[in-house]
């Protein structure tokens, strides 16, 4: 998570829910920037790093 928080333009919004369930939204990420291609590459990198644990 610390590595993600260092990405410029990335905003993490966690909803504080204690229990995970299939298809339950636990939060979201917002990525802002001026260059669409850079945003796409950054989003792809973020997607590979984010993991939702259910334990």
The whole-angstrom separation of Cα 7 and Cα 34 is 14
Residue that the structure tokens 């993991």 belong to: 51
Looking at residue 17, its pLDDT comes to: 93
Joined together, the tokens standing for residue 2 give: 């610390």
Looking at residue 16, its pLDDT comes to: 95
Per-residue pLDDT of the chain (55 residues; tens, 9 = 90+): 788 889 999 999 999 999 888 889 999 999 999 999 999 999 999 999 888 777 6
Residue 50 phi, psi (nearest 5) = -80, 130
């Amino acid at each position: 998570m610390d590595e993600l928080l260092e990405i410029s333009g990335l905003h993490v919004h966690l909803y504080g829910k204690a229990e995970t369930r299939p298809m339950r939204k636990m939060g979201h990420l917002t990525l802002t920037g001026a260059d669409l291609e850079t945003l796409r590459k950054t989003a792809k990198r973020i997607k590979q790093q984010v993991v939702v644990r259910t334990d």
